[in-house]
Amino acid sequence: MSSQTPAPPPLPAARGPRTEQTHGRPPASEAGRLLILSASMGSGHDTVAAELARRARAAGKEADVVDVLALLPYGLGDGLRGFYQTAVRHCPWVYAGIYDFFLRPGPRPRPSGTPLARLAAGRLLRLVRERRADVVVPVFHLAAQLTGHLRARGTLRIPSAVVVVDFAVHRQWLHPGNDLHLCVTDQAADEVRHALGRPAVTTGPVVSPGFFDAGPGTETGSDASARAGAGAVGWSGRLQGFGGGRPAVLLSAGAWGAGADLAGTARLLTGHGFLPVVLCGRNERLRRALSAVPGVLTPGWVTDMPELLRACAALVDNAAGQTAVQALAASLPVVGYRPLPGHGAEGVRRMAALGVSDHAPDEAALLRCLGRLTADGPERERRTASGRALFREDALTHVVRATAAGGPP
């Protein structure tokens, strides 16, 4: 998943078991201890997990976030993360092959992720007991395989509500043992119901409310930076000062700084009157390389993404992850270009098919899309309205309902 904002809080340290005595499941009115299973693959899953935990705590409930990779024994989680990061950054064709073999939906039988996930079963069940959880909420596909397996066997006796963060629901999100799937789109929910015969609800993406708020200095369109004025502060003023009024276009490379020919894309935009602002994540080598390209701004790790998004005219995205949906929440047009292989490419195509973004197959198409969408007018307004319409319901509400019912609604 691609995201840079805000940096999620550290995962909570394990707590010891509660000392009070209880007898069975608490009443429905008291049900509200969430155990959220994330994964430190980039920062997209952790960002979703942190937002769900924030909502739960704001509602007076308890929420713990745990990295499912840390539950795997023998250092397997670290190895899996390192392999995926290396593949995406340096040999994306390897990940493309893995996606086709293990993950791509279709009738052909493919290997399951359940055997790997089962290795974390003992540690997860211990956490459930210690933290007296009422519901487990996977936001990563390996975690969904784990909870589905344990629910099917009857060893996990509390509901599992899977928050599917991808536009394209690949096979590893799907396990019939899970009680409920919360999906980004109607198409994704239909696919879950068709594949599993289990409940699935369309809630839309899980995004912090700060991305929806129109903060001071909010601007849109091709002259957003110019209208900020000489005395502006924050991102609007910084982009105006650096770009001299050029419309700022955000290029996202995710938390790991992965993408195809980002320097070439930045030069293309600079040569056609745009200010490229490249999000390099934590990839300092990439940031140093792109900083040498004239007319390109590389801000490094960004902690105030809502303000940055509102100061830009468009987002060029390669993963259909958290940065993309945050842009949609902030009413920023999104153009998919040179997507990462596997679920990144599938997600970019799905977003475009839904009409919430554009997909540019080549340089000429990218420039045409940006020319249309960075100018104020009906087309930009239609595109941003379509993006905002994705956000329908609070995923936490459905998690709590499933918890109170002891299973699917």
Domain 210-388 carries which CATH code?
3.40.50.2000
Report yes or no: 235 and 250 within 8 Å, Cβ to Cβ.
no
**pLDDT, greater one: 93 or 394:** 394
Which two structure tokens, joined as six digits, stand for 85? 């990061």
96 band by pLDDT with thresholds 50, 70 and 90: confident
Within 10 A of 160 (CB to CB), how many other CB atoms are there? 27
| d(C-alpha 112, C-alpha 39), whole Å | 18
28: amino acid identity, one letter:
A
| d(C-alpha 296, C-alpha 251), whole Å | 10
Q: Using one digit for the tens of pLDDT, what is the confidence trace for 4-31?
A: 544 333 333 333 333 333 323 444 444 4
Q: Which residue has the tokens 């009680």?
A: 179
Structural domain boundaries in the chain: 28-207+391-405, 210-388
Task: Dihedral sign for Cα 371, 373, 374, 378, please.
Answer: positive
Within 10 A of 108 (CB to CB), how many other CB atoms are there? 7
CATH class of this structure's domain 28-207+391-405: alpha beta
221: amino acid identity, one letter:
G
| d(C-alpha 88, C-alpha 257), whole Å | 9
pLDDT at residue 198 greater than cutoff 80: yes
Helix (H, G, I), strand (E, B) or coil at 137: strand
| d(C-alpha 206, C-alpha 396), whole Å | 9
Average pLDDT of 192-206? Answer: 95
Q: Establish whether domains 28-207+391-405 and 210-388 are of one fold.
A: yes
Query: pLDDT value at position 113?
Result: 66
Distances in Å between the alpha carbon of 28 and those of 25, 151, 406? 8, 20, 9
| d(C-alpha 396, C-alpha 401), whole Å | 9
Q: Using one digit for the tens of pLDDT, what is the confidence trace for 156-180?
A: 999 999 999 999 998 889 999 999 9
Residue from 378, 50, 402 nearest 221 by CA: 378
Query: pLDDT value at position 126?
Result: 96
Helix (H, G, I), strand (E, B) or coil at 306: helix
Mean confidence (pLDDT) of the chain: 85
| d(C-alpha 61, C-alpha 404), whole Å | 13
Average pLDDT of 275-281? Answer: 94
Strand (E) or helix (H) holding 155: none
Tell me the residue length of the chain: 409
259 band by pLDDT with thresholds 50, 70 and 90: confident
Query: pLDDT value at position 12?
Result: 36
Query: pLDDT value at position 144?
Result: 95
Query: pLDDT value at position 25?
Result: 43
Report yes or no: 309 and 326 within 8 Å, Cβ to Cβ.
yes
Residue from 286, 289, 250 nearest 370 by CA: 250
Q: Using one digit for the tens of pLDDT, what is the confidence trace for 101-115?
A: 777 766 555 556 678
Within 10 A of 377 (CB to CB), how many other CB atoms are there? 11
| d(C-alpha 279, C-alpha 43), whole Å | 13
Report yes or no: 317 and 335 within 8 Å, Cβ to Cβ.
yes
64 band by pLDDT with thresholds 50, 70 and 90: very high
Residue from 216, 247, 207 nearest 370 by CA: 247
Report yes or no: 29 and 2 within 8 Å, Cβ to Cβ.
no
Q: Using one digit for the tens of pLDDT, what is the confidence trace for 289-342?
A: 999 999 999 998 898 999 999 999 999 999 999 999 999 999 999 999 999 888
Going edge to edge, which strands form the sheet with 200-202?
161-163, 180-183, 200-202
Distances in Å between the alpha carbon of 276 and those of 182, 244, 372? 35, 12, 17
- E strand segments, 155-274: 161-163, 180-183, 200-202, 248-252
